[in-house]
């Protein structure tokens, strides 16, 4: 049996970062690979996760929490209501802000304020 000091020390040791996210649900939690998430959509103080298996998870936390959690990943907030996974972008059409077509066919508008940041992120990720 480990002594208390050893347990405390192991808690302080940072865990290896993974490409997964833990989402709290009514029954407990669900762990997802980041690649499984196509986009997240704000629904007042809830966040709806649209997944590659065509399922949707509704989580009782606002989108801003997931934007913060997924900083420095391939997720980007293109609009006040949408946080997208850049790996699921299939097409971008120019416009005032522009429109993105995601891998599930969903059209997502890019806000005028976020257009330049979005294009810069695409250039970084895809060497465009």
Which tokens hold the place of 82?
A: 């949408």
| Structure confidence at residue 10 as a pLDDT band (50, 70, 90) | very low
Measure the CA dihedral 60/86/91/118, to 10°. 90
Residue 107 has φ and ψ, to the nearest 5°, of: -95, 125
| Distance, CA of 52 to CA of 106 (rounded, Å) | 12
Structural domains in the chain? Answer: 18-126 (2.40.50.1020)
Query: What is the spatial distance between Cα 100 and Cα 109, in angstroms, rounded to a whole number?
Result: 6
Q: What is the pLDDT of residue 43?
A: 96
- Is 80 exposed, middle or buried, given 0-12, 13-18 or 19+ CB atoms closer than 10 A? exposed
**Residue-wise pLDDT tens digits, 109-120:** 999 999 999 999
Instruction: Say what the pLDDT of residue 92 is.
Output: 97
């Amino acid at each position: 049996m480990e002594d208390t000091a050893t347990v405390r020390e192991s808690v302080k040791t940072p865990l290896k970062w993974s490409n997964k996210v833990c989402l709290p649900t009514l029954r407990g939690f669900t762990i997802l690979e980041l690649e499984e998430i196509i986009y997240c959509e704000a629904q007042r103080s809830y966040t709806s996760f649209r997944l590659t298996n065509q399922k949707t998870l509704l989580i009782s936390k606002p989108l801003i929490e997931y934007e913060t959690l997924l900083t420095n990943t391939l997720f980007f907030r293109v609009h006040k209501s949408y946080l997208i996974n850049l790996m699921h972008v299939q097409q971008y059409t120019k416009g005032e802000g522009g429109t993105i077509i995601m891998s599930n066919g969903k059209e997502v508008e890019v806000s005028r304020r976020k257009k330049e940041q979005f294009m810069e992120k695409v250039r970084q990720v895809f060497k465009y």
